[in-house]
Amino acid sequence: MALQQIVEQTVSGLGYDLVEIERSAGGLLRVTIDLPWAAPAEGSGTEQFVTVEDCEKVTRQLQFALEVDGAEYKRLEVSSPGIDRPLRHAQDFERFAGELIDITLKAPMGAAAAGQVSANRKKFRGRLERADGAGWQIVWSDAPEPKPGQRVSRKKVPAPVQVLGFTLDELREARLAPVIDFKGRKPRGGVPA
């Protein structure tokens, strides 16, 4: 059986989702897992995260499964996706709609680039939203965020909000933007809990 199949069966059999498998130099096999996601019901705002115990459980089971199948690796590393989690499947985009993400397109925008965006640009950071019809869009403004305590003039004209629609086939890579807030988690609405 192929390495990908062994890892997928073992991880899903334990009740986790396989996010990524990576083989690195020196025989390192890196497996990234996450908890399964279901669309949240109204009023339930608690999101669960992968713990060290979850990673230990998957590591023990994978070591056994890989040894039985004779897969070659020198070191196994099982971890959670982290704050810059890759988005690979349509379900990932559903799950993280409304979040800040980084995307890289396979090809530059070309003639579709209207306004202030360079036609050669491939990388964007903005809020992920569902587009009208089938597809997704990213919404951003190139205005710098004001620094804490900085006064912002009411007379200053805000930078225009820009929107780029895309399909999953047009993406080379998509990840959650690694934003760290030391004041605690905020719900998706942006209001502190």
- The pLDDT tens digits of the residues spanning 139-149 come to 888 777 777 77
Domains of the chain listed by start with CATH number: 3-39+47-79 (3.30.300), 90-143+158-176 (2.30.30)
Helix 3-13 to helix 52-69 angle (10° resolution) is 140
Contact criterion met (CB below 8 Å) for 20 and 84: no
Residue 41, helix vs strand vs coil: coil
Strand partners for 171: 105
Instruction: Give the bridge partners for 103, in sequence order.
Output: 124, 174
Label residue 45 by pLDDT band (50, 70, 90): low
pLDDT, one tens digit per residue, over 60-105 is 999 999 999 888 889 999 999 988 889 988 888 988 988 999 999 9
Whether residue 110 has pLDDT greater than 90: no
pTM over 0.75: no
User: What is the overall mean pLDDT for the chain?
Assistant: 82
